[in-house]
Structure 1
Amino acid sequence: MLILINPTRAVLKDAALQRKPPAPYPPGPKGLPIVGNMFDMPPAYPWHTFTDWGKTFGDIIYLNVLGQPTVILNSAKQATSLLDKKSSIYSDRPVLQMGGELVGWNNSLAMMHQGHRLREYRRYIHQSIGSKTSMEKHHGVIVEEDKKSLRRMLESNEDIAAEIRKTAGAIILRVTYGYTPQEDADPMVMLVEEALETFAQTTAPGAWLVDILPSLRHLPAWMPGAGFKKVAADMREVLLNMGNVPYQMTKQKLTNGLDVPSNFVAECLDKENLNAETEHNIKWAAGSLYSGGADTTVSSMHTFILAMTLYPEVQKRAQAEIDLVVGNERLPSFEDRAQLPFVEALIKEVLRWRCVAPLGLPHRATEDDIHDRFLIKKGTTVFVNIWGILHDPEIYPNPDTFDPSRFVSETGEPTDVPNPYNVCFGYGRRICPGMNFADASVFLWSTMVLAVFDISKAVGSDGKVIVPAAEHTSSVISHPKPFKCLIVPRSEKARRLILSVDE
């Protein structure tokens, strides 16, 4: 007896079997048809929501937002397993239509896709600041600008955020381009601040519909709903100026035979055979170093001031250690660092307590992967919940409390509590190449400030003490929200020491 089989149905059935996922997706909140988890995504502080979800779904969470698969990693173990050990397939960046393609941040190291150009950027930066040894040639610049900062803070420190930004901007401009900014409003500093504002606005998850529906980028600019194109064009011009203006300034000085202090661009131009490709890479590697260093260190330094305002007992212990090791006849130096274990722990706690980039920057899977029994499909966007990892009470008890002693014993020996440096600077091949620069900058400025200033809560016009709320912004790079504090010299001798630093 012959049994006739409909060939079309058989082929369809076979194709359906082939399409069946080889493993389940990671667990996560149940979405809706078509839109998936679009309405589950929090409008602000998503790292808090992801941490709460982790209590229900575990260390790997799966979301689907309008067809875009997304994975959240809620533990250092999973982040290491995925992004470090499988870095060959998790080192790409997702395509961001607004910030990346239209504005042009995909030219920067932060948003660049995996490939030869990315490796060249990282090679240039590593040669200049990639190790503690290579950083030593820049220590003099950091010391000089920190001393200037102390002088300015002595004269006026009502806007400490502006002072920090001025100091960090001056250091990174000198290191990158050999350019010393003017004391008042400097055009180069203003240039990067404007560009960084475009980064914050255009890379925030879910902020632009074109990132969710990429086909919108093909709309004519005159059509209703295409206003984002005008915004992108204006922002692109700002970004191009940030990349071109300081680079061309340094290159022109070198061409004219002018004396230019040692800097990143000059070193690269001296070593490389220039053509269109290498010049593009040097220019945008410099722009990446400039833009990255000018914002992230600002957040950490400002967080340090906030912590000292709220935790005077921590400040007093750190000052006592500095007094014992350094004395009060000179300012602290990099050479003192090994003898300041509590200050070292304090800097670690600054980076843990209010991490600069709570979700880091997203990775993208370039292949299908079966990980820990779960399927992570090619094209999946992967976030590390850095904030959640650094606030895990199982690892860091009382995580919302600023407590450097978690990292150091009473005798100055390091504890076995995991170092936040291993988390807050990212993972795999996308780990921050400027981490040694950030570490050196934050350490010396914070230590110098502690040596000569007392930081305390401000008093309002009504005579009441103003307690800062300790709130940070919900942006990709998270900064303390504005707060008031009082910064005064520790003594008359400290004041004279600040005034004598240029003698």
Structure 2
Amino acid sequence: MNLVSRVIESSYFDLLRRPALSLAIALNVLAFGLFKYLNSPWRKLPPGPVGYPIIGSTHRFFDSSWLLEECPKFGEVVYLNVAGQPAILLNTQKAATALLDRRSTNYSGRPRMIVANELMCDGKFLILEPFNDRLRRKRRAIHEGFNKSASMSFHGTLAEDAVRLAVSLEHDPKAFRKYYYTFSCSVVLAVTYDLPLLGRPEDDTLLSRIEAFAARAKETTAPGAHYVELLPWMKHLPEWMAKWKRDALITHRETTSFFLELMEDVETRMKQGLARSCLMSTMIQEQDRSQLSRDEIA
């Protein structure tokens, strides 16, 4: 320690004896700091309110009256610091169209969803997954299952669902909302798992489990549903301290088991020669080429 102190002291007095060198170092440090400041991405942010330390403008982000009345005064595009998480607000249709439609390639990223994606789905929820190599492989595999030639194999299934819808509407036209909902669910299940809704007892169970997962996903993706989305470090809290984390992990185990069961059901029918063409059968057949795991396919 004494040696280090003597070296530092010697360097300090050496700089004092050479003011030109000291000035040159100071100017270089100042120039570097100015360069970093001028090129900082934070200087290029849209206008927005000045926030408080730590929480930023979190209180304004959840204040609907401020968002509707005061926020537009800052301009078409407004920046908010929500407890360290950047948020961009688009106040006009013109700004939304310009950024999300015409420049969609530049702004096609997805926000991090800790509860809905990382905890409930192990980071594999297709519609919430960030753009990465795995997502590209998934999209290619889905395209194989839904391309023009593959879609033609669904015509028979879709025709059967359309006939069932027409018969139901003829029987009770006033219940059209219920029938259209059942029809849309049946179409999705038919082209995905070859499981159209035919009024069987097991159909109600299947539909209720899917609806429960959809409701849970909707709940967890709602703005402000969980503080962990604003304070990501909370993800590492032990389960006994965070009920929201326990619930999310329970949902993950249940839904993983459920969707793997659907996949295994398709596999069983494929081996028996009873499965019609569907997205899942195509993805199972193309698993080696797509380089997706069973969990990722399910």
Do both share a fold (TM > 0.5)? yes
Partner of 1:15: 33
Sort the Cα spacing of 1:136 and 1:54 in 2 relative to 1 into closer, same or farther, 3 A: farther
Partner of 2:56: 36
Whether 1:269 aligns to 2:289 is no
Q: Deviations over 1:196-240 (max 9, x none)?
A: 1111111112210111111112112223xx111211122212321
Partner of 2:167: 151
Structure with a larger share of its residues in helix: 2
The equivalent position to 1:259 in structure 2, one of 274, 287, 297, is 274
Partner of 2:124: 107
The equivalent position to 1:174 in structure 2, one of 184, 190, 194, is 190
Whether 1:220 aligns to 2:238 is yes
Q: Does the 8 A contact of 1:194 with 1:238 survive in 2?
A: no
Partner of 2:84: 67
Gaps of 5+ in 2: 1-17
1:382-393 pair list within 5 angstroms: none
* Matched length: 276
Distance of 2:276 and 2:223 partners within structure 1? 40
Sort the Cα spacing of 1:49 and 1:141 in 2 relative to 1 into closer, same or farther, 3 A: farther
Percent identical:
26
SS in 1 for 2:46: coil
Distance of 1:58 and 1:9 partners within structure 2? 38
Amino acid across the alignment from 1:141: T
Partner of 2:263: 247
Displacement, 1:165? Answer: 3.1
Q: Deviations over 1:335-360 (max 9, x none)?
A: xxxxxxxxxxxxxxxxxxxxxxxxxx
Normalising by structure 1, we get a TM-score of 0.47
Sort the Cα spacing of 1:16 and 1:130 in 2 relative to 1 into closer, same or farther, 3 A: farther
Whether 1:186 aligns to 2:204 is yes
Amino acid across the alignment from 2:265: M
Distance of 1:237 and 1:162 partners within structure 2? 31
Displacement, 1:153? Answer: 4.1
C-alpha RMSD of the superposition: 3.5
SS in 1 for 2:123: helix
Displacement, 1:189? Answer: 1.4
Partner of 2:228: 210
The equivalent position to 2:137 in structure 1, one of 110, 120, 128, is 120
Distance of 2:66 and 2:151 partners within structure 1? 38
Displacement, 1:78? Answer: 4.4
Displacement, 1:73? Answer: 3.5
SS in 1 for 2:273: coil
1:55-454 pair list within 5 angstroms: 55-74=72-91, 78-79=95-96, 81-83=98-100, 89-104=106-121, 106-129=123-146, 135-156=151-172, 161-183=177-199, 184=201, 186-223=204-241, 226-255=242-271, 257-273=272-288, 277=292, 279-283=294-298
Distance of 2:175 and 2:248 partners within structure 1? 31
Q: Does the 8 A contact of 2:60 with 2:66 survive in 1?
A: no
Sort the Cα spacing of 1:139 and 1:58 in 2 relative to 1 into closer, same or farther, 3 A: farther
Sort the Cα spacing of 1:107 and 1:8 in 2 relative to 1 into closer, same or farther, 3 A: same
Displacement, 1:244? Answer: 1.3
Q: Does the 8 A contact of 1:105 with 1:111 survive in 2?
A: no
Q: Deviations over 1:452-475 (max 9, x none)?
A: xxxxxxxxxxxxxxxxxxxxxxxx
Normalising by structure 2, we get a TM-score of 0.76
Whether 1:26 aligns to 2:42 is no
Distance of 2:259 and 2:86 partners within structure 1? 33
Gaps of 5+ in 1: 284-503
Q: Deviations over 1:40-81 (max 9, x none)?
A: 1237xx7x9767667433332211101111113455654565
Distance of 1:242 and 1:53 partners within structure 2? 46
Displacement, 1:90? Answer: 3.2
Whose Rg is larger? 2
SS in 2 for 1:63: strand
Q: Does the 8 A contact of 2:239 with 2:246 survive in 1?
A: yes
SS in 2 for 1:241: helix
Sort the Cα spacing of 1:141 and 1:232 in 2 relative to 1 into closer, same or farther, 3 A: same
Q: Deviations over 1:322-373 (max 9, x none)?
A: xxxxxxxxxxxxxxxxxxxxxxxxxxxxxxxxxxxxxxxxxxxxxxxxxxxx
Q: Deviations over 1:116-169 (max 9, x none)?
A: 2211222232333356x7645434433322332343345457765544332221
SS in 2 for 1:27: coil
Distance of 1:168 and 1:49 partners within structure 2? 39
Q: Deviations over 1:409-435 (max 9, x none)?
A: xxxxxxxxxxxxxxxxxxxxxxxxxxx
Q: Does the 8 A contact of 2:61 with 2:67 survive in 1?
A: no
Sort the Cα spacing of 1:111 and 1:9 in 2 relative to 1 into closer, same or farther, 3 A: same
Amino acid across the alignment from 1:27: P
